[in-house]
Each structure stands twice: as structure tokens, then as C-alpha cells.
Structure 1
């Protein structure tokens, strides 16, 4: 998962609105969103190589999503970051306590950011900076540095989501939210970060929706959780930049 915009607690209808893109090499085996056979409480897509996930929801109201931290100089680590999302969704642990335990093992994983919500508390953790804090209400964005780092696609997408919510206070439309994540515009060179991948790759990665020969946006997700605990989870899968199919789920969290 490489780009997540979310709006928390300030909408009159929805307590959490999430729009996200997962960017990955095209040939990494992946299952689309579904309720897992071995963990039937979890709704998420699944990385079939390591059996974890990048973003998911549980029937009892837990949400988690993870992004990689972009730094090509960082060494490989033994454990899969996707297991962090899976482990949180399958647990009953408070996000703060989960993060405290995770921080003890932070060097076993490649660089990451994770956001965790238990239905009451939304937390962020970055294992490179060892940042851990509860996220305040409002609109936020996360790419591959840390929360709200002002990279072009973070600033642009966050602004578009914030403006959309202001102008649609009564109801949001799924297609409108997906449209924000379909933005393929490349940022100007002077606005690009320098993360060590070279100028040409920085340009390609500056778009919200990425399409390269062997790597790009594999799926987009919209998640809505209203104040009555009704969940709408929609995932659109892409193949080489082209829409392939959509999976839609609706259920009510038992509170």
C-alpha cells in the first residue's frame, strides 16, 4: 500500500472515510478482497506470497493499513510487514498497546508506517523514526515517508478529499472518491522529494495512480464507516493500469 487519504470524526454521517491505492509489482500473487477462510472475521485482499495484507477491516470494527517507507539503502528484514495488519485485525489489543509491543520488534521489519483503529482510537506508528501517537480528528494522508509528509501527491490528494467532504456534507459518492485516487498527473521536478531512487523514478512515483511496465497501482479501496456502524468496503482491481473488476461488501459492526 503506497497512498492512503482518510478523514476522521469530522463528517456528520461518517466517522471514518478511507481512500487508498496499493502499488506493487504486477506479478506478485494476490487475492482480491474477501473474508478469509482461515480468519473469517477479516475482510481484506491478501498477498499470497507472505499471506498478509496491506489494508483490511474486521467484523468487530477494527481497521488497519500499512505503507512501506521508501529508502533503497535500508537492508532487507526477515519478517513480512503484511503480517502486522493481519495480526492487529485478528487481535483485541488496544492500538497503543499493540504499537508498544510492535516497537520492540521494529527492526525485524522493513521500513513501514501503519495506522490502526479499534473503533474508538486511531493510532499511527513509523518504525524508522519510532513515531507513535494517536491521530487527531481531521483529514490526513500517508504515503512512503511518514504521516502528512508534504509530498506532492499527499498534499494534492489530502486537499481534494478535504474539499470534497466540505462540499458533500450529507453523502459521499463512491465513484467520486475513486476518482481522487485515479489521478495520474506527474508532479513538477521542483516539488519532488529525493528518496534515493533517482529523478525518473521520483517522477513516476509522484502520481497517485502509478503505471509502469512492471510495477504500479494494483488496486484502489474506498472504506466508509458511518456513525451507526454500517460499513461499506469497495475494492477495484487493475491490471497494468486498466480496470479489471470490483468487489463490494456491506455489513454492520456489532457494537
Structure 2
């Protein structure tokens, strides 16, 4: 259940970007000491540099400590990192097949957005268990990578690409007026600072 008196999660990302005295792992370590004060969240932090890229993860409903992620492909859905749901595994397979094609530019972005909008249903007892309390009619829809129900579901897709030279492509697709036929698209390109 959501705690209406919990601290707001909205500043977690901004605080990380502003507080540059802490590296990504140290920021999450500090945050983990007060994670219980927030409603559930997952947070990924990253540092990109010439020697080694560092990506860290903390979910306040899982381990009490953040982790440094090793190189690889991970999945994150409406639970903790790598929760073994069939829809998560399916999404990772779709993602891997796109990445293995070594596409670039608009084609890569479009194929990744297609993955994010995949509505193939899977039968997953784990989602059935987590969905206790939900209307039984929407439980099958929760088993797809992209959830579409009248009052709950995926509203935004974001693709962030960072190349080896630090060039970033950020593309976001947002549903308008809860209407799956209306979308706003925004795209930004910029260079990471050293």
C-alpha cells in the first residue's frame, strides 16, 4: 500500500545530479539509509568515463544495499531488478534481438520503441500472485511488456542511447489524454561532459 505521508520520490534523480560530491554508488548507499521513508522505487545511477562505465542499482523494496551492475543486459519491470517474470524475460529477449542487429540511428530507436510497446500476453503465476487485489479482468494485461488497460498501463516510452564518444540520443514518446492513438514525441541530442 502507498503511504500518503511518505517522502516524495520526485527529487531522487535531481538530487543525484545536483550532489556531485558523491559518486553513483555512494549516492545510492546514502539513499539506502533512508529508503524506508519513501514509497517503493527503483533507481539506476550511472557514470560514463573513458576508463570504465559504472552503473548502480537500488530498489528500496529489496536489498538494503545498492549494487554495482556488471556489464550485461538487465530487466526492470514493476518490481525489483531481474524479478523472474515471464514478461521481463520476454522483453529482454526482444531487446537482445534488436541490439544484436547492430542497428543505429532512427531505426534502432524505432525498433526499441516497438519492443517497449509489445503487448503479447504471457501466462505467469508470479504476476497472478502479485496482482492479488487487482480486478481479475486486467490481470492478463499485466503479463505483457506493454500494459494497456482502461485505467492503468504504460504511458511513456523512453530510449536513451549513449555512444562511445559520449554522444547521447534521448527519445521520449508520451501518450496524450489517455488515448493510445495520440502520442507526443520528443527527441534531444547532446554530448556528455567529461
TM range (shorter): 0.7 to 0.9
Flag structure 1 segments of 5+ consecutive residues without an equivalent.
1-71
Q: Which has the larger radius of gyration?
A: 2
Residue 102 of structure 2 corresponds to residue 169 of structure 1 = yes
Match in the other structure for 2:139:
202
Secondary structure of 1:236's counterpart equals strand
Partner of 2:150: 213
Note the C-alpha offset of 1:207. 1.9
Conserved? CA contact 2:32–2:65, under 8 Å: no
- On the 8 A contact 1:231/1:253 being kept in 2, the answer is yes
Which residue of 2 is the match for residue 249 of structure 1? Answer: 188
Superimposed CA distance per residue, residues 121-172 of structure 1 (whole angstroms, 9 cap, x where no aligned partner): 1001121222421011111110122111111221111111112212x23536
TM-score between both structures, scaled by the size of structure 1: 0.65
2:33 to 104, 110, 114: 104
Structure holding more strand per residue = 1
Alpha-carbon distance change, 185 to 86 in structure 1, aligned in 2, over 3 angstroms: same
Distance change in 2, residues 1:204/1:170 (3 Å) = closer
State the match for 1:90 in structure 2: 18
The Cα RMSD (Å) is: 2.0
Distance in 2, matches of 1:170 and 1:216, equals 29
1:125 corresponding residue in structure 2: 58
Q: Secondary structure at the match of 2:87?
A: helix
Alignment equivalent of 2:77, drawn from 133, 143, 148: 143
DSSP 3-state at the match of 2:15: helix
Q: CA deviation at 1:191?
A: 6.1
Return closer, same or farther for 1:200/1:162 CA change in 2, 3 Å cut-off.
same
TM-score, normalisation: structure 2: 0.84
Q: Which runs of 5+ in 2 are unaligned?
A: none
Question: Comparing both chains, which one has the higher relative contact order based on Cα–Cα distances under 8 Å and sequence gaps of 6 or more?
Answer: 1
